[in-house]
Chains A and B, each alone.
Chain A
Amino acid sequence: MTEAQASPSRTHAIFSPTRIWALARVTFTQLVRMKVFYFMLIFCAVVIGATFIFLEYSFEEELKLIKDVSLGAMQLFATIFAIVGTALLLPRDLEDRTLYTILCKPVPRLEYLLGKLLGVLLLIAISLVLMDVLFTAVLFAKQSAIAARTEEALALKGASELEIARTLEIIAKQGVTWNLLNGVAAIFMKSCVAAAVALMVSTFASSTLFTIIVSFVVYFVGHIQALARDFWLGGMITDTVERLIAVVVSLLFPDFQLFNIVDGVVAGEPVPLLTMAKLAGLTLVYLAVYNFAAFFVFADKEL
């Protein structure tokens, strides 16, 4: 019997998590094997290490500085990678004709988009976890050193045990806490939305550069979306053009400012669980909306 005759008429799953996972794995592998990822890790490690040079500050400021620089570096890395990493995927697949070989297999276009996005998010998540581990270790080491140094100094001054305990408590509050994870989670969620925006833009963009530029514009405008929304809904604008701009910004752009809880986290302000749940919900809504829009454009795209 020939091979062709032997091939049964195969059934095809309309939606397959296995296929999405296969695409995500390859995307993840592809991105990991690009040298830029390792460079970013080294960059973050250098930034975190550099925080040790500010020794003239008070212990509170020293710890705050480490948190500020580290979370800032994580934010920068995650945003750049979410936008640039995602912007590279679809145009490059199209340019290299790799897209043809993938979509000629029984792969629905929605699965292709989801797989690509999942691969980028997986990479951002893993790299944030790695950076968080490094950051926590550095912060804990610094916190322990400050605590030992302060305890010794206070004992020499003849401070009471209560006074020493209170000081150590203040140091602990500025050191490693579970609240820091909320800051990292918010950075991740913000990156997820930025990546979804970049993927959507790449479905109709003519080049990688265009995708990157437009995505960064959306990212920055997204930080003033709340302002535009307030102007629009508050009826503060009377000019038609200005009103139109406010409506467009309010409806099409994501509200990135909502995810900016890092400053509070650095200051040691606890983030309520409800706030995190709301952010997670909002992230899922943005992902659904931007993925749907991406699919809407990509489904009919002539390749």
Chain B
Amino acid sequence: MMAMMEPAPAVTVENLTKVFPLPLRREKVVAVRDLSLTVAAGEVYGLIGPNGSGKSTTMKVILGLIKPTRGRTAIFGKDSREVDSRQDVGFLPENPYFYKYLSGEETLAFYGRLCGLSGKALRDRIQELLELVDLTHARDRRLGGYSKGMLQRIGLAQALVQSPRLVVLDEPTAGVDPAGSRKIRDLIFELKERGISVILSSHLLEQVQEVCDRVGIIFKGDLVREGRLEDLIAIEDQTEIILEGASPELIEKIRALAAEEAGKSGTKLVSLGRPRTTLERLFLQETKGETKDEPEKR
């Protein structure tokens, strides 16, 4: 019997180094230094780091937009420099501006045709995507009249037009209000459920924490930490107990028990109180039904 072949990882980055020469100067800028990472098929990978740390450069090399100085990158086993590798990838850049004279539907039709779609298959796919990103009502409106959140969503739809197995999102929620941000977060969850691999770069760490399986932290071109999210953020020597409907007497008993144990085994009660909701959740709860897709000036 033939042994089952392991599926190729969605993304492979091996010893990637990217150096940019400065025009009219002798110096060079090392944007990424000897970086290696792997994104498994179906995984949501968060790439985080401060501005200028090398996230976008890494993503551009993965997408074949720039060439590595050293090392290699591959998408599902195909070298990123080959045009063929882009059949399986969709990309949403940070703050994208599409052709503002085209409508939402025309935009998706354009990107669909670039991926070889046509006829009924293309029309069905456009309908499906407009529903997915909740823009059916604005399909005939020109993108010049779209709000920031709507542009991000149409951008996500174009990234998904050829049903790629990998989606790369660079700051997908930059400049988007919390409701729009939540919609995009939900879409990422949906992609995950469909088995689509996602690379997400974002400064919204809470969002990264919510959706990502694994996270890599880039700082000054180096991958300084990488791993499963729960492993990275777990505090090894602490335990959290969350109770619902606990009486004040029970709380007091727990407090007394912890104090009693403190003398014997070194156990220490670090905190006891009500868990807090996030500001984002509070905002969404209070503004539920108030946010609409209104165009904004660009």
Contacts and interface: CB of A to CB of B under 8 A. Distances in A.
Interface of B: prevailing SS:
loop
B89 interface: yes
Interface residues of A, number: 36
B133 to A, nearest CB: 15
Interface in B79-94: 83-84, 86-94
B231 to A, nearest CB: 25
Contacts of A16: 116
Given A4-B165, A97-B93, A302-B66, A104 B195 contact: no
A4 B194 CA distance: 6
A157 interface: no
B196 A30 contact: no
A4 B191 CA distance: 9
B84 A12 contact: yes
Given A4-B194, A4-B195, A26 B102 contact: yes
Given A26-B110, A104-B65, A97 B84 contact: no
Contacts of B168: 104
Interface stretch (B156-164, B208-216, B236-244, B257-265): B156-164
Contacts of B96: 96-98, 100-101
B60 A303 contact: yes
A13 B113 CA distance: 13
B163 A3 contact: yes
Contact of B86 (A22, A97, A106, A300): A106
A113 B195 CA distance: 35
Interface residues of B, number: 48
B207 to A, nearest CB: 21
A242 B113 CA distance: 51
Given A30-B102, A98-B97, A101-B98, A3 B158 contact: no
Interface string A1-40: 0111111011011001011001101100110011000000
A198 to B, nearest CB: 20
B155 interface: yes
A108 B84 CA distance: 9
B114 interface: yes
Contacts of B92: 101
Nearest to B112: A22
A152 B102 CA distance: 56
A12 B114 contact: no
Interface string A86-130: 000000000011101111111110000000000000000000000
Contact of B83 (A2, A10, A97, A108): A108
Interface of B: 20, 41-42, 60, 63-67, 83-84, 86-99, 101-102, 106, 110-111, 113-116, 118, 155, 158-159, 162-165, 168, 193-197
Interface of A: 2-7, 9-10, 12-13, 16, 18-19, 22-23, 25-26, 29-30, 33-34, 96-98, 100-108, 300, 302-303
